Structure 1
Amino acid sequence: MKDTAQPQDVDSAGLRSRAVEALTAARTRTELLTSCIDDAELTAQHSPLMSPLVWDLAHIGNQEELWLLRNVAGRDAMRPEIDSVYDAFEHPRSARPTLPLLAPAEARTYAAEVRGRALDVLERSPLRGAPLVYDAFAFGMVAQHEQQHDETMLITHQLRRGPTALTAPPPPSAPDGAALLPGEVLVPGGPFTMGTSVEPWALDNERPAHATFVPAFHVDTTPVSCGAYLRFVEDGGYTEPRWWEAAGWAMVREHGLTAPLFWRCEGGQWLRRHFGATEPVPLDEPVLHVSWYEADAYARWAGRRLPSEAEWEKAARHDPASGRSMRYPWGDADPTPERANLGQRHLRPAPVGAYPAGESPLGVRQLIGDVWEWTSSDFLPYPGFAPFPYREYSEVFFGPGHKVLRGGCFGVDPVACRGTFRNWDLPVRRQIFAGFRTARDASEGEF
């Protein structure tokens, strides 16, 4: 079964333009996230789970130098003495404040100097031949890397205490009739093409395309809402061990969990802290800041389960009319503001049922953007996987310790979000912008 998604064909000039646009958008966002607070806030560690923002800033520049200046252009290191400081594998996040970090002004100067040289390399690169530069892959990889750290920095902004530093307009409301959407959609059984071999900037764990058989199943039309999750909370979901995996129940007991991260109940009203402000829990938005264990417990309580990664991708990419796999639920065209909540245009998910223009052929909504969606699957390689351009991007994380998330969120840029894009994290993680939808097996006679 072939990979039938059709990314647009572009010539070298078009590839350069696309790469410049992606790199520029990432840097604009990095500057927004690091210029809205003072130097003391940049150098502080707002949570032991996260790096100081100034570490991310210089790490972005260091990785860009490593891949675009040293590996692509063959140049000598600009500042070899800082390589170990900004090696994400050498120092855990909790220890990074003790390192000899570049000061904010110095970090900005370094990142800007690297970017100027990188754009010169891009202008001179043939974008054909070696795999690292073919179709501007290395430049796209660096843009995705920076946007992923921008999302990480956005999480740090959510964790930091103090007044609101970021603002954005609200997302669109759900259209009239969204409340009348069916609760679930039947996805027919059969093979489909999972992964990709043609998407030029796809990362190694998305490759190669391969035929996967998925039995028929039902999947939620929209992500699980805060209102639906609140019913689980108020039904004693956090006090009933029968809903939880053993490790998840141990987490609940150890940390005294009673609700999603940032939620609290005062005077009978549920509130949450959201980017420095306190607000009533928005019952019509997808639930946010829940771990895999919480998502799994809710699904059990509801008499359902989390979808597997293959089920999620089939719901998001399979076109039953043509039998082919598309790049996105709506087709092969790139995301637009009418189709998905991406790119930090808004600082929250849209209400469930929003973005009808992003609906899949089967009628599933909000598969791209709004909230990362936990799946039941461990993060494992596809058949025929080959690490590229380095093992530490994906391969070292394979195994039962990490669960797969799909679909992106409001804090993910389109360059780092595709129907094939795979995210992964530890099942205890709550600070990430993660929610979920549920699924169930289809019974005989339904397909």
Structure 2
Amino acid sequence: MRPAPGSGPAALRERAVSALLAARARTGALTTCVDERELVAQHSPLMSPLVWDLAHIGNQEELWLLRAVAGQEALRPELDPVYDAFEHPRAERPSLPLLPPREAHAYAADVRGRVLDVLERAPVEGGGPLLADSFAFGMIAQHEQQHDETMLITHQLRAGPAALTAPEPPPAAPDAALLPAEVLVEGGPFTMGTSTEPWALDNERPAHPRLVASFFIDTLPVSNGAYLRFIEDGGYTDPRWWRPEGWEQVRRHSLAAPLFWRREGGAWVRRRFGVTEPVPADEPVLHVSWYEAAAYAAWAGRRLPTEAEWEKAARHDPASGRSRRYPWGDDDPTPERANLGQRHLRPAPVGAYARGASPLGVRQLIGDVWEWTASDFLPYPGFRAFPYREYSEVFFGDGLKVLRGGSFAVDPVACRGTFRNWDLPVRRQIFSGFRTARDAEPV
């Protein structure tokens, strides 16, 4: 089953245009809210200058949609090596001959105008795998939204006053205190991954059976308040809870709390997009590494869920035995179901989005915070790289940990029940949190 938002060439074109325009509107908002000096600065060696991301977005769009799909000649072939993400680590990118901001904006706009012209004429059914279901256009929309999330991380890392504002706060969670702490997910097989989702990327494929033993999983993500109890119980000073590599990170960097937290006047505060505020106890904990998540889980007498456990909790419907696109069903995300798309610039309180719960009542599996899992990033059985090895294949089996579920910074086009993210276990600048699990006692 493939519950797509529409069928036929007109619907596919409309979906592709809508996704591309939404991505570009967000890119514009992230790159016009600061001056040119901020755009060319490197705000952290972990991140590129914002102007690099802007031109890279245009260059990838040109490579895949103008050259590969439309067969056009290169507009600016000299830009290809400059904006090749695999040739230049982020720390080195400020030294490259980057396009200045105005030229980068003009280049991206020129490419986009030509792409929309192509989309009016290009077949979106048939025409090879790049064009089937308008995949190439969906891939580029997802690529741009992924870089928009990266640029939002850069905004979080930059010093100075706030440049971004949210139009409204996230919804409250009035029944959070009434929810069970955990739910039982019965063991047995389920279908993991997808072979039918039109814009799914190669590492989400193919669908395959996976057998998972019974386990319990947290109903809600771990909150700041719960994590604070770990801190106050000496969690960052007791090596018992830490993997050796994680304990080395704690000692080397004098870690004592999540990134962007600090003690001020006897209380914990955090910096969020240029604003200092009290740490909200009821929000999911954010900006923690895999090592921190695993240490908390060990302290709590629990563990991180495996990737397969996470996906079964998020997609498996015990009543029908099938895997859904999302925890709530097959319909696309809406603002009532999940916190996505940079809408609130923060996670919602734990327990929000009752309409987005799974059949077992697990909440916030989509949106709010990326959730670390216990699993390494590995290919599924039958994996085939498409359309290029560098999207997934080159990262497999290299000590990278899988994150699932998306965050408030992820656009719905790049977030679904099968979507897989990955990063080094030391990373803290990403919008990462977690929930815990435990084995079910054998009956």
Aligned to 1:59: 56
Q: Distance in 1 between matches of 2:316 and 2:397?
A: 27
For residue 283 of structure 2, what is the aligned residue in structure 1? 285
Shift of 1:377: 0.2
Find the aligned partners of 1:6 and 1:166 in 2 and give their Cα distance: 35
What's the counterpart of residue 87 of structure 2?
90
Q: Counterpart amino acid of 1:32?
A: A
Q: Quote the offset at 1:171 in angstroms.
A: 3.6
Do the aligned residues in 1 keep the contact of 2:173 with 2:349 (CA within 8 Å)?
no
What is the aligned counterpart of 2:17 among 20, 31, 35? 20
Shift of 1:400: 4.0
Q: Which residue is 1:177 aligned to?
A: 175
- 2:318 corresponds to: 320
2:3 aligns with: 6
1:378 lines up with 2:372 in the alignment: no
Shift of 1:267: 2.2
The amino acid that maps onto 2:150 is: T
Conservation of the 8 A alpha-carbon contact between 1:188 and 1:216: yes
User: Which blocks of at least 5 consecutive residues in structure 2 are unaligned?
Assistant: none
Secondary structure of 2:422's counterpart equals: strand
> What does the per-residue CA deviation read over 1:158-211, in whole Å, with 9 as the maximum and x for residues that have no partner?
000000000003443333221110000101110000000000000000000000
Residues 373-423 of structure 1, C-alpha deviation per residue, up to 9 Å, x if partnerless? 000000000000000000000000000410000000000000000000000
Who is 2:237 aligned against?
Answer: 239
Q: Which runs of 5+ in 1 are unaligned?
A: none
**Residue identity in the other structure for 1:55:** W
**Could you say what secondary structure the match of 1:401 adopts?**
coil
- How many residue pairs get matched? 442
- In 1, the alpha carbon distance for the partners of 2:200 and 2:40 equals 33
1:5–1:139 distance in 2 versus 1, CA, 3 Å: closer
After TM superposition, list the pairs within 5 Å mapping 1:221-236 onto structure 2: 221-236=219-234
The aligned residue for residue 81 of structure 1 is 78
The SS at the match of 2:250 is helix
Q: Identity of paired residues, percent?
A: 78
**Coordinate RMSD, CA, aligned:** 0.9
CA distance in 1, matches of 2:57, 2:173: 39
Match of 1:148 in 2: 146
Which residue of 106, 115, 119 corresponds with 1:118?
115
Q: Secondary structure at the match of 1:237?
A: coil
Shift of residue 438, structure 1, vs aligned partner:
0.1
Within 5 A, what are the aligned runs for 1:258-337?
A: 258-337=256-335
Match of 2:33 in 1: 36
Deviations 1:83-119 (A, max 9, x none): 1100000011001001110000000000000001111
Secondary structure at the counterpart of residue 401 of structure 2: strand
Alignment of 1:365-444 (within 5 A): 365-444=363-442
How much has 1:129 moved relative to structure 2?
A: 2.7
Find the counterpart in structure 2 of residue 160 from structure 1.
158
TM-score, length basis structure 1: 0.98
Matches within 5 A, 1:175-254: 175-254=173-252
Q: Deviations 1:32-62 (Å, cap 9, x if unpaired)?
A: 0000000000000000000000000000000
Q: Distance in 1 between matches of 2:341 and 2:265?
A: 36
1:306-345 per-residue CA deviation (whole Å, 9 max, x = no partner) reads 0000000000000000000000000000000000000011
TM-score by length of 2: 0.99
Secondary structure in 1 matching 2:236: helix
Measure the CA separation in 2 of the matches of 1:46 and 1:260: 19
Look up the equivalent residue of 1:324 and give its one-letter code: R
Determine helix, strand or coil for the equivalent of 1:339: coil
Q: Name the aligned partner's letter for residue 378 of structure 1.
A: D
* Cα distance in 1 for residues equivalent to 2:401 and 2:220: 21
Offset, 1:6: 3.3
Tell me, in whole angstroms, the C-alpha distance in 2 between the residues paired with 1:135 and 1:153.
28
Q: Give the 3-state SS of the residue equivalent to 1:239 in structure 2.
A: coil
Which residue identity lines up with residue 273 of structure 2 in the other structure? F
Q: Partner letter of residue 166 of structure 1? A: L
SS of alignment partner, residue 399 of structure 2: strand
Note the alpha carbon deviations across 1:263-288, whole angstroms, 9 max, x for none: 00122100111100100001000000
Q: How far 1:5 moved relative to its partner?
A: 5.6
Contact 1:326 1:332 in 2 (8 A): yes
CA contact (8 A) 1:171 1:341 kept: no
Post-superposition shift, 1:125? 1.1
CA distance in 1 between counterparts of 2:86 and 2:171 reads 41
Q: Give the secondary-structure state (helix, strand or coil) at the position aligned to 2:276.
A: strand
